[in-house]
């Protein structure tokens, strides 16, 4: 995927995360990205912090036009779980998407082996948590009701930068 591509699936406005085609995608859809925001996204790195609490993984993105945005992930619902857990140098992409699902800006990085191993270790621990459909969503709803995205930094496990 590259700038100006249209996503192959329709998304509602907001933040979504998935592992697709051997990469973690952090997708932020906004109906009205303006030129200043897109220029800021191009010019500035984005910090990503991986947080974990009670089996819930949260990727926080901040920088450029993004204050603090939270992306929740559950390895147990990942269609490509086996492939994700076998990654050696994980690719991570942040896509800013407009109302037409067109990629208007993107940031990416390939993580080091060490950082990838740390993320895979956290994902494997999440995979061991007892999981019942709906329970993960209830836990996420509880976290969202209790904490503003910026308050989730207290659960920080690691961080990296997208350029």
Check if the beta carbon of residue 97 is closer than 8 Å to that of residue 103: yes
Give which of 147, 51, 34 is closest to 99, Cα–Cα: 34
The total number of residues written for the chain in this structure: 163
Determine the Cα–Cα distance for residues 52 and 38; give it in Å rounded to an integer: 30
* pLDDT of amino acid 121: 97
Determine the Cα–Cα distance for residues 121 and 72; give it in Å rounded to an integer: 17
- Answer whether 0.85 is exceeded by the pTM: yes
Tell me the mean pLDDT in the region 115-144: 92
Check if the beta carbon of residue 132 is closer than 8 Å to that of residue 140: no
How confident is the model over 109-128, as pLDDT tens digits? 999 999 999 999 999 999 99
Determine the Cα–Cα distance for residues 84 and 111; give it in Å rounded to an integer: 13
How confident is the model over 80-99, as pLDDT tens digits? 999 999 999 999 999 999 99
80, 121, 140 from 157: Cα distances, Å? 23, 11, 18
Confidence of residue 133 (pLDDT cuts 50, 70, 90): confident
Which percentage of the chain shows pLDDT scores above 90?
93
34 has pLDDT over 80? yes
């Amino acid at each position: 995927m590259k700038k100006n591509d249209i996503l192959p699936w329709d998304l509602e406005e907001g933040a979504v995360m998935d592992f697709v085609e051997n990469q973690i995608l952090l997708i932020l859809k906004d109906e009205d990205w303006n030129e200043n925001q897109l220029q800021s996204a191009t010019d500035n790195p984005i910090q990503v912090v991986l947080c974990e609490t009670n089996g819930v993984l949260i990727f926080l993105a901040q920088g450029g036009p993004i204050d603090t945005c939270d992306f929740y992930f559950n390895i147990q619902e990942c269609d490509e779980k086996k492939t994700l857990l076998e990654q050696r140098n994980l690719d991570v992409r942040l896509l800013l998407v407009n109302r037409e699902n067109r990629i208007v800006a993107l940031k990416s990085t390939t993580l080091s082996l060490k950082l990838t191993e740390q993320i895979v270790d956290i994902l494997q621990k999440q995979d061991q948590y007892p999981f019942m459909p709906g329970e993960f969503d209830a836990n996420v709803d509880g976290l969202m009701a209790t904490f503003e995205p910026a308050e989730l930094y207290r659960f920080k496990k690691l961080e990296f930068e997208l350029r």
